Structure 1
Amino acid sequence: MATIKDVARLAEVSTATVSRVLNGNGYVHLETKERVAKAIQQLNYRPNDVARSLYKGRSKMIALFVPDIMNPFFPELARAVEDMAKQHEYTFVLCNTDDDPEKEIAYIEALKQKSLDGIVVVSSTMSGAYMKDFDLPVIALDRILHKDLSSVTVNNKEGALQAVEYLKEIGCKRIAHIAGPEHVSNAKQRLNGYLDAVKQEDWFKYSYVEQGEYHFEEAKQATQRLLEKHPEIDGLFVANDLMGVGALKAAEALGIRVPEDLSIIAFDGITLGETTTPTLTTMAQPIYKIGARAAEMLIHQIEQIEQEKQDEEFKVTLVERDSTRNRREIHDNN
């Protein structure tokens, strides 16, 4: 693949002159313009490739886009990306997008002006097709954006299935679900894992599923609606830990004892779950590992000419805490 230096060498000019010709900035003699144009045509060199070659290896800057910096999952993820960036001597930029497409695009356009080298992106709203055609390396993290974009995720569906089977194992007879946003891939996968585990049960009702939108307050309200409508529920799988805390608060507000009357298990493994009362049982993601791996993959793409698509999936791990009944005690009582 030709570089701007190749164009300059063939046209017998400086790289700065080639840049001026391409960008229409500054005076360049007509004869020189024609030589540069001929060299570009001969080398089949594209202007947008030139723009990248002008800064490649100079800016050493990557960005992480997250939808909600108030969710403790994302600062933990950001720390891993930042550490990996520093290890490879890259500058790190954190962008909180609020899942606002206009804000996401504004960030991208601003960072392009700063010669950004690549993006690790967590988004519920950004168009995968748009990112696929973006003129920078992109790694999708935590969720799938497009089938042609490299990604780092976890086994959401299997982890959700394991969570529900665990609730069954500790004696729960009526298990409900507080789901994440319907349009987010990992929320869909966790919902499907839950449904695979319960839809054949004679007690299952689709009204056992409520939307919590991955937010604390929405999950608290959804849990209250669910438990008021279905007091028979004794097990609850919540699609992320932040919503799990909301579910704990809803149970407390309703006078429902956790775990004596209701066992709650969530998904993520953020440190917040260790500070609640009771502490939160969860399907823990290897948060640091997936963040570091996404950054590592991005830097590799930036520094390599060939950019092959990669998809890596990590496994989640059950972490038992106080929000679910103790399996040993149940076994002893039996």
Structure 2
Amino acid sequence: MARMRKTVTIRDVAEEAGVSLQTVSRVVNGGPNVRPQLRDKVRAAIDRLGYVPSLAARRMSGSRSYIILAINDRERTLEDWRERRGTDWVDQMLLGGILTCSQHGYRMMVELVDTRSDHVERELGAALSALQPDGVILTPPHSENHLITALLAERGIPFARIGSNASGPGIALTMGDEGAGFLATSRLVELGHRRIAMIAGPSTYSLSGWRIDGWKRAMTEAGLPQDGLLEVGDFGYASGTRAARALLDRNPDLTAILASSDQMALAALEVARERGLFVPEDLSVISFDNTPIVRYSQPPLSAVDQPIAETVSRAVEQLIARAPDNDDDAVIEVAAQLVERSSTAPPRQAPA
């Protein structure tokens, strides 16, 4: 009969390293007042024995829960999952969060909260009471919901606000949306486009305005007109269809569209096909997000790649440290990149 493997305990580690139980506990929990030499001995013993600290025991040993809680928008997340739209915001959030948490002995959990609900405080309050997280990550639009940020501040829970650069409590992080809008538009200008339209996201997200600012700045620096070249959608496909049709109706000489989401950019591709326009020969299209689906569209979409995983990873590191390396009004920016594919090219005929 196979013998069951003996569970390695904190006492085994202490005996192996020749130190006290209290010293091992302080090393495991990241506590202070441990000499580097002793810390190295304990860590070496942990590695040799394969000791895995119990999360429950660690929680009992101090004030930390070793849980980071991420809050995502309930309505939009469930809608994307049910429709299988291929968006990977949550996947990327988990990638950055889970890996970074595990490196520090933490666990990441996700709660879906309806930011427009009258019961948002009750919903979030229940989650906080049940989980007692050491920190909370807020994604748009929660990161700018004053009911949520006030509740966290009142309870003294450290939190990170992704997609927010407003002053106030919490760690502000952005993905360089204004710079990304400028970068994408400037690239279209470099290709020779002079009539460049934008399909923006809803005003409930500050990042929508930042992307418009980037588009406007690039157009202004290039000396190009902007009148009649802006439409607003809601990030969804249907709104992208309406916006693209309106833009092409008003601007028969339009040669490029920058869309503030992949879904709206895919809609612009379909509208172009409806009208007998070839992409990119007649119309270049750039999207935001760079979700997996845009690699398989026809043609594959050029897209602004948002560093979601890296941004969430930075947020986790800041929350675990409990001492952000930026002051209250500083903003941590993780810049986005432009990935060029087959949906962008010089216009067939440069406007006169």
8 Å CA contact 1:265, 1:280 repeated in 2: yes
Change (3 A) 1:277 1:318: same
> How many pairs are equivalent?
275
Q: Which residue is 2:49 aligned to?
A: none
The CA deviation at 1:109 is: 1.0
Deviations 1:25-48 (A, max 9, x none): xxxxxxxxxxxxxxxxxxxxxxxx
**Residues 299-314 of structure 1: pairs in structure 2 closer than 5 A:** 299-301=320-322, 309=328, 311-314=331-334
Q: SS of 2:298's equivalent? A: coil
**Residues 312-323 of structure 1: pairs in structure 2 closer than 5 A:** 312-323=332-343
Which residue identity does 2:149 align to in structure 1? M
The CA deviation at 1:141 is: 1.2
Q: Is structure 2 residue 82 aligned with structure 1 residue 82?
A: no
Q: Is structure 2 residue 274 aligned with structure 1 residue 258?
A: no
**Unaligned segments of structure 2, at least 5 residues:** 1-58, 81-86
Two-structure CA RMSD over aligned residues (Å): 3.0
Q: Is structure 2 residue 83 aligned with structure 1 residue 61?
A: no
**Residues 6-85 of structure 1: pairs in structure 2 closer than 5 A:** 57-67=63-73, 68-69=76-77, 70=80, 71-85=87-101
Q: SS of 1:225's equivalent? A: helix
More deviation, 281-290/54-63: 54-63
Q: Which residue is 1:131 aligned to?
A: 149
Change (3 A) 1:305 1:272: closer
The CA deviation at 1:167 is: 0.6
Q: SS of 1:144's equivalent? A: coil
8 Å CA contact 1:233, 1:262 repeated in 2: yes
State how far apart, in whole Å, the 2-side matches of 1:111 and 1:277 are. 43
8 Å CA contact 1:95, 1:107 repeated in 2: no
8 Å CA contact 2:88, 2:291 repeated in 1: yes
Deviations 1:167-210 (A, max 9, x none): 11112121000001123221111101111222477762432111
The CA deviation at 1:127 is: 2.6
Q: Which residue is 2:313 aligned to?
A: 292
Which residue identity does 2:230 align to in structure 1? V
**Unaligned segments of structure 1, at least 5 residues:** 1-52
Q: SS of 1:151's equivalent? A: strand
Percent identity over the alignment? 24
Change (3 A) 1:111 1:103: same
Q: Which residue is 2:31 aligned to?
A: none
State how far apart, in whole Å, the 2-side matches of 1:182 and 1:326 are. 31
Correspondent of 2:134 among 117, 123, 126: 117
State how far apart, in whole Å, the 2-side matches of 1:103 and 1:282 are. 37
State how far apart, in whole Å, the 2-side matches of 1:55 and 1:224 are. 61
Q: Is structure 2 residue 174 aligned with structure 1 residue 173?
A: no
Q: SS of 2:344's equivalent? A: coil
Q: Which residue is 2:230 aligned to?
A: 209
Change (3 A) 1:99 1:258: farther
8 Å CA contact 1:72, 1:272 repeated in 2: no
Deviations 1:39-67 (A, max 9, x none): xxxxxxxxxxxxxx999645322211223
Change (3 A) 1:112 1:259: same
The CA deviation at 1:265 is: 1.0
Which residue identity does 1:78 align to in structure 2? L
State how far apart, in whole Å, the 2-side matches of 1:289 and 1:217 are. 30
8 Å CA contact 1:219, 1:247 repeated in 2: yes
TM-score using structure 2 length: 0.69
